Amino acid sequence: MTLSQNGRASDDKVDEYQQERAKELRPESLLCRLKYKNALPELPFDPKFLAYPLEPSRFLQYVATSLERNYKHELLTETDVGVEVDLIDPDIFKIDKSVKLHPDDERLLEDDNPAAINARKSRHQKSVSWLRRTEYISTELYNRWNKSDKVESKLGYSVKRHLNEEIVYRDRESQIAAIEATFKAAKKPIVKHYSKPNVHAVEVLPVLPDFALWRYPCAQVLVPTLDYFH
C-alpha cells in the first residue's frame, strides 16, 4: 500500500508541473514577430566639418569601359548624310579664248605628223658600210628563206597601207570631224545588211542604259539546275 501511494503521489506532481509549464508557454495575443532594438548612445561631442583631400569629381566623372569603347555603332544615314556635295565644277573646264599661249607652249600642243615620224625613223634606219648591222635573235633568218605568200602577211600589209593612206586623225580638226561623223552615221536608218543583200532589218532597238536602275549595283548569279548534274 505504501508503494502504490508513493507512486501515485509522484504522478500527481508531474501532472501539476506540466500544467504550470503549459501556462507559462501559452501563445501571445500578438501574431507578429517581435523585434528588439538597441538604440545607439548619443555622441559625446558636437559634429564638425573636416577638409576633404580628394576631388569630388572623381566620383561624378563618367568613364567609358573597354566594352563600350570597342562596340561599333551602326550609322543608319543617307548616302550623302544629308549634305549634297558636288565635286565637279563645269566652269573649270571652260576654255578662255581671250588668253593667248606663249609660242613655246603652242609648240608643245601641236599634233604629231605621222609623215614626219616615218621620215625620222627612215633616217635612223640607214645602213652604212663601216657599221655592222644589228642582228636580233628571232625567226627572221627562217622567214628569209621561207618567203611563201601567206594570207596573213598580205592582209597585214594591206591594212598597214590603208592606215598610212588614211589622213583622218592627223590633226585635231580631223579628229573632231571624224567623231562628229560617227554621230551622224548612227542616225542613218538601217536599210540592208552590209554584206548580205537579201537580209533586211525587222526592228531597230536603241542601245541605251537603264535610267531607272543604273545607280544600283547588281550581280547576275546563275544557279545550275538538276538537269545540269545529269
Nearest by Cα to 189 from 178, 202, 177:
202
The more confidently predicted of residues 122 and 25 is 122
Count of CB atoms situated within 10 Å of the CB of 171 = 14
* DSSP structure class, residue 85: -
pLDDT band at 112 (very low <50, low <70, confident <90, very high): low
Q: Is the pLDDT of residue 28 over 60?
A: no
| Predicted local confidence at residue 166, as pLDDT | 56
Tell me the mean pLDDT in the region 177-194. Answer: 85
Q: Is the pLDDT of residue 7 over 60?
A: no
Count of CB atoms situated within 10 Å of the CB of 175 = 13
**How confident is the model over 202-221, as pLDDT tens digits?**
888 878 878 888 888 888 88
Tell me the mean pLDDT in the region 15-29. Answer: 65
Q: Which residue has the cell 569603347?
A: 69
| Predicted local confidence at residue 67, as pLDDT | 92
Would you say the pTM of this structure is higher than 0.95?
A: no
The DSSP-derived string for 186-223 is HHS---S-SS-TT---S--------TTTTTS-------
- Rounded to whole angstroms, the Cα distance separating 7 from 24 reads 26
Q: Is the pLDDT of residue 75 over 70?
A: yes
Inter-residue contact 190 to 204 (CB < 8 Å):
yes
**How confident is the model over 122-140, as pLDDT tens digits?**
666 667 777 777 766 655 5
Nearest by Cα to 175 from 183, 167, 185:
167
The DSSP-derived string for 114-145 is HHHHHHHHHHHT---TTSPPP--SSTHHHHHH
